[in-house]
Amino acid sequence: MKVTIKDVAKKANVSPSTVSRVIANNPRISDKTKEKVHKTLKELHYRPNVIARSLVSNKTNILGLIIPNSNENLFKNPFFIDVLRGISIYAQKHGYHIMYTYSKNEKEEKEYIQEYIYSNLVDGIILLTALENDPIIKHLKKEDFPFAVIGRPENTDSILWVDNDNFKAMYELVNHLIAQGHKDIAFIGGPSEFMFSKDRLKGYKMALSAKGYIVNDDKIIHESGFDVNSGYRACKKIFKNFSPTAIVTTDDLLAFGANKFLKEENIKEVEITGFNNVPTYEFQSHSITSIDIDSEGLGYSVAKLLIAKLNNQEMINNHIIVETKLIDRTSK
């Protein structure tokens, strides 16, 4: 039997309107009354009618998350799984739900966003990536619809965003390799239009230049994806003309692909590094140093920023920088 607001009001000995105000988190209701009503809601296993509530408050308590076409292998990449977990943990804790939609291309992505906005399906939107000259970010700003993005946007003005300090993380990683005695370090990255790709490449170049090493663009390879096959192809290209003693990559899956090539070619004593510190590193034949970017923390933080905005909470900053940690597995 479905529990109604009247049932809750009767057991809590308050009016139905008071129960409604408690559910809506009305500040005029005393903490004592809120506590009593929430206790009753829990005892009776009351579940609010989301559709009815949205008609009254013009809020759905749903966040929209559109999976862009560039992430078609989303659920094969542990990074995105951890990000989604972080988003869900914070959202659920604060009474929000997540609506996922997958788009095949930019046109379809915009169509889904329009549907989200004009059909009142969601209160806000979370973007998983930030691109150079990002058309989706521009579109959302034009529509003046609440959104937050994982990744530093090209123009951060009036945008909620969460990211790591990718320049610093890569700079420190390259310095770590140099301290290990490496002077010939190659670079493997995914698509260069991602802002984090650009920041990590800058960190790589700056670290080498600061030590007086020449930056050789022929040892910098950008592939079309962040996956094992891309890492394999990139490593193969590098070793056609060079024999670096270390390779930095911008994703652990790229590192795994590079490691696969080295194993097949029986190339030893080459250090491989990655980003994300995914759990499957332990199954690699070669130890891989990685930057732990706290993917779950990125998801948790982006949900926190967006929900704070939706609830008109005072915000000191429009962004959160999530700390990284170097997980050293270099050969000693």
In a shared domain, residues 145 and 259: no
In a domain, 56, yes or no: no
In a shared domain, residues 203 and 264: yes
The letter for the amino acid at 200 is: R
Of the candidates 229, 238, 230, 296, the one whose C-alpha atom is nearest the C-alpha of residue 267 is: 238
In a shared domain, residues 283 and 193: yes
In a shared domain, residues 193 and 286: yes
In a domain, 240, yes or no: yes
In a domain, 331, yes or no: no
In a shared domain, residues 199 and 284: yes
Contact assessment for residue 101 and residue 117, using Cβ atoms and an 8 Å cutoff? no
In a shared domain, residues 102 and 121: yes
The packing angle between helices 78-93 and 295-310, to 10°, is 40
Of the candidates 53, 44, 64, the one whose C-alpha atom is nearest the C-alpha of residue 2 is: 44
Strand 124-127: give its sheet, edge to edge: 97-102, 62-67, 124-127, 147-150, 160-163, 319-321
Contacts 24+ apart (CB under 8 A), 72-78: 73/225, 73/227, 74/102, 76/227, 77/226, 77/227, 77/253, 78/252, 78/276, 78/278, 78/279, 78/280, 78/295
In a shared domain, residues 220 and 72: no
Per-residue confidence (pLDDT) for residue 44, from 0 to 100: 83
Per-residue confidence (pLDDT) for residue 203, from 0 to 100: 98
In a domain, 328, yes or no: no
In a domain, 114, yes or no: yes
**pLDDT tens digits for range 296-319:** 999 999 999 999 999 999 888 999
Q: Which domain holds residue 30?
A: 5-48
In a domain, 44, yes or no: yes
Q: Structurally, how many domains does the chain consist of?
A: 3
In a shared domain, residues 131 and 43: no
Per-residue confidence (pLDDT) for residue 19, from 0 to 100: 83
Cα-based torsion angle of the residue sequence 204, 210, 212, 215 in order, rounded to the nearest 10 degrees? 20
In a domain, 332, yes or no: no
Those residues of the chain that have pLDDT short of 70 are: 1, 48-58, 68-76, 280-286, 331-332
Where on the phi/psi map is residue 123: left (φ > 0), alpha (ψ -120 to 50), or beta?
alpha
| DSSP strands (E only) in 141-202 | 147-150, 160-163, 185-189
**pLDDT tens digits for range 273-282:** 999 998 765 5
Per-residue confidence (pLDDT) for residue 111, from 0 to 100: 85
Per-residue confidence (pLDDT) for residue 204, from 0 to 100: 98
- Residue 118 belongs to domain with CATH number: 3.40.50.2300
In a shared domain, residues 103 and 178: no
Contact assessment for residue 65 and residue 102, using Cβ atoms and an 8 Å cutoff? no
Per-residue confidence (pLDDT) for residue 70, from 0 to 100: 53
Per-residue confidence (pLDDT) for residue 102, from 0 to 100: 78
